[in-house]
């Protein structure tokens, strides 16, 4: 393959209510920028979009600050169940795992399933695949997430979700509750890919399925790629990722597709966010939540969305 275009990259670490405490905000910024820097260096070295997406997702899954992989939230029964998916825009293949336990990087399973005849596996199938691949058993539990669950149990699980960021110096309101990680990449060959991974809402009913392992929350074609975050049910109801991608594929600009989709989401009182790239290298993000934890590389420098206004917002970098 011959290098053709300037690579672009955007990642997210969740969406939620306002972040208080500059120390915590700067810690999140440092985490996100570190991932962007490392993955962008890989893109410049010539790796493909899917490989870069998986690497970025792994780094975010390994950071206990975010609700995916290590640091995932606990469900109502005190167990961790994670979901992840990968979509390659060039091949048009979507693959994912739903409610998998005791693996370090769910995105690795999604990557393996890209070349499988069965490309989305639920809990038992995911566990069996992890055994087949001889992945070591891994405990993703952190002390912060355990204490969060114990507190909720004492309150009889009045909260419907866990905190988006496990960060002691972030003083978050009781509604700051959405957590996912995601990566969207345009590689040097002009190919797009998107990946999304989550530990779920936290405290949810056993068996609940998030948007992260569905096309609703993670979708890419050769024209655009999108990863979503926020309330999974709201993302599913909007069918947000494919809604944006299909609009771009049908000829709408990424900027207009994001604007229209987020106007609709706001009108429908959804609580969500999304990051996006198109084949021209345009970068976009949107949110109806107060905060979107996203960072990007535009080919020249790194930027982020950590201090956007609290209202519905759509941003664009051509």
Q: What does the pLDDT read at residue 48?
A: 98
Active-site residue numbers? Answer: 180
Convert the pLDDT of each residue in 134-164 to its tens digit: 999 999 999 989 998 888 888 766 665 555 5
For the chain, what percentages of helix, strand and coil (3-state, to nearest 5) are there?
30, 25, 45
CA-only gyration radius of the chain, Å: 18
- List C-alpha distances in Å: 37 to 33, 52, 139, 216, 297: 6, 12, 28, 28, 8
- Helical H runs in the chain? 22-45, 49-61, 106-113, 123-132, 143-154, 232-238, 240-249, 254-267
Rounded to whole angstroms, the Cα distance separating 51 from 57 reads: 10
Residue 218 pLDDT grade (very low, low, confident, very high; cuts 50, 70, 90): very high
Q: What token pair was written down for 118?
A: 């069965």
Instruction: Report residue 185 as tokens.
Output: 């990449």
**pLDDT tens for each residue of 86-141:** 999 999 999 999 999 999 999 999 999 999 999 999 999 999 999 999 999 999 99
Closest CA to 108 of 96, 98, 118: 96
Of 23-27, 35-39, 45-49, 252-256, where does mean pLDDT reach its minimum? Answer: 23-27
CA separation for the pair 235, 107 (Å, rounded): 20
Distance CA 10, CA 285 (A): 9
Evaluate whether 249 touches 223 at the Cβ level (below 8 Å): yes
Strands lying side by side in the sheet with 93-100: 120-121, 93-100, 82-88, 192-198, 181-186, 8-16, 291-297, 302-304
């Amino acid at each position: 393959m011959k290098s053709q275009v300037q690579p672009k990259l955007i990642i997210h670490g969740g969406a939620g209510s306002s972040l208080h405490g500059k120390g915590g905000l700067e810690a999140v910024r440092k985490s996100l920028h570190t991932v962007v820097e490392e993955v962008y260096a890989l893109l410049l070295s010539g790796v493909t979009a899917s490989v870069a997406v998986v690497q970025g997702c792994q780094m975010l899954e390994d950071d206990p600050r975010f609700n995916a992989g290590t640091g995932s939230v606990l469900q109502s029964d005190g167990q961790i169940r994670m979901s992840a998916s990968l979509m390659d825009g060039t091949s048009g293949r979507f693959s994912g795992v739903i409610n998998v336990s005791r693996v370090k990087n769910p995105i690795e399973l999604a990557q393996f399933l890209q070349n499988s005849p069965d490309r989305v596996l639920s809990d038992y199938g995911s566990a069996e695949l992890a055994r087949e691949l001889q992945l070591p058993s891994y405990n993703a539990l952190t002390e912060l997430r355990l204490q969060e669950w114990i507190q909720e149990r004492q309150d009889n699980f009045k909260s419907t979700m866990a905190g988006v960021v496990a960060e002691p110096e972030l003083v978050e309101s009781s509604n700051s509750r959405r957590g996912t990680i995601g990566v969207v990449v345009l590689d040097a060959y002009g190919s797009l890919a998107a990946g999304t991974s989550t530990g779920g809402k936290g405290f949810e009913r056993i068996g609940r399925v998030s948007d992260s392992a569905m096309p609703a929350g993670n979708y890419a074609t050769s024209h655009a790629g999108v990863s979503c975050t926020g309330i999974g049910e709201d993302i599913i109801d909007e069918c947000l990722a494919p809604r944006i991608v299909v609009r771009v594929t049908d000829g709408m600009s990424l900027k207009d597709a994001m604007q229209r989709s987020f106007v609709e989401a706001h009108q429908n009182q959804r609580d969500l966010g999304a990051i996006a790239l198109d084949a021209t290298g345009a970068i976009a993000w949107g949110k109806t939540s107060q905060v979107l934890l996203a960072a990007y590389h535009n080919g020249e420098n790194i930027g982020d969305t950590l201090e956007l206004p609290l209202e519905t917002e759509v941003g664009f970098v051509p």
